[in-house]
Copies of this chain bind each other. A is one copy, B any other.
Amino acid sequence: MNVSFEPPRGMRDFYPEDMVWRNRVFDAFRAAGEAAGFEQYDSCVVESYDLLARKAGEEVGEQIYHFEDKSGRHIALRPEMTPTLARMVAQRQKELVFPLKWTTIAQCFRYERMTKGRKREHYQWNLDIIGEESAMAEVEVIGAACDALRRMGLADGDYKVHVSSRRFLGELLEKSGIAKERHAQVFLALDKRGKMPDAEIAAMLKDGGLGEAEIEAAFGIMDTSDCSACPELAELFRLAGIAGFADRLVFDISVVRGLSYYTGTVFECFDTAGEFRAIFGGGRYDSLLTTIGGEPTGAVGLGFGDVVVTELLKARLGENAAKGRKGVAVGFMFAGQADAALKLATRLRKEGKPVDLALRAQKPKKFFSRADSSGALEAVFVGPDDVEKGVARIKNLETREERETCL
């Protein structure tokens, strides 16, 4: 009996042609993190359920894949990296030297309804600065994400980073008479704007205890387009000017973020054409460590998934953009030339060239066709005459030029 050849529902296979894109994205993540002086960390995708459930709140809690191991431990596949980061920092809070600048690429799982291409797992690049209250932290984190987009091949005009401040929004809500204890509910509802009809959001606000006038005020605040009264955003714009990416920042009061732990600046990046979901998002979360028993500390975090940006890159650069020719394909005509081909492959590899060695004798046509489609830059096909002469020809598959090499 056969089993299914498909991956489990919502999970992705990466064939070589998919890995080319994933590497382009991951390489940019790693290079941008390193350029901005972030240190790498990681942990296991299996996390304690208690840790995740404690922090998650809201929708995420219901979406966690969780189970008991063989000795009854309640474990789960993390839906995001932040609780794990908080745990790791809390574990060494006395030894670590703050501010920390940490980065990781973490696979995360959410059990979601499968709508329009949403998967149940994705990779999320995380950048976090822990132990810094000033807007320098926001600038470093957003600047590194912009640098990653540049390294992937996007133009500055391809995206905008929409910024706001929960603290500022809270101030505006309070001025409109909406009491602080209702803000968490209001944030959650306002985060749904654009994703569900305003009437449903109004109903959510009503359920949250707001009266007619307050609901109207909350919607009114969503028209705010001036953030000059918000010092943390003014400072962020000023510093982004020095760091060279102020042209990509826009104030947008409607950016609220779904998670409850944000306390100050929040941001989301969108493609300028507005075709895709958010590319990355994040914000300031000054009280996260205290929720798991650590000491309070100012922090800024950013999460940047691999799915949306890959769709965007394919749309902007073309499906074949990630391919690049490199390395040498080495083949041979008859079994009698296998040794010579292996010897040549060994020498070229010692010289630092990637070599795809054909493992068996082939007809030249078949060899060159495979070499071409596999993306080799050069190809050598060893025949009996070549072995006799001790010389083979290396053909450049782009320029069609040939040069000789000894065997």
Contact = CB atoms under 8 A, between A and B. Distances in A.
B360 A134 contact: yes
Q: List the number of copies, as a whole number.
A: 2
A278 interface: no
A23 to B, nearest CB: 7
A41 B15 contact: yes
A90 interface: yes
A3 B97 contact: no
A363 to B, nearest CB: 14
Contacts of A5: 87-88, 90-91, 292-293
Interface in A129-149: 129, 132, 134, 136-137, 139-140, 143, 147
Contact of A359 (B3, B137, B338, B373): B137
B54 A65 contact: no
Interface of A: 1-9, 11-16, 19, 22-23, 34-37, 39-48, 50-51, 54, 65, 67-70, 73, 75, 77, 87-88, 90-92, 97, 99, 101-102, 107, 109, 111, 121, 129, 132, 134, 136-137, 139-140, 143, 147, 239, 242-244, 292-293, 327, 329, 338-339, 342-343, 346, 349, 352-357, 359-360, 370, 373-374
14 contacts: A5-B90, A5-B91, A7-B43, A7-B48, A8-B47, A15-B92, A16-B39, A34-B327, A36-B354, A44-B107, A69-B111, A97-B373, A137-B359, A140-B359
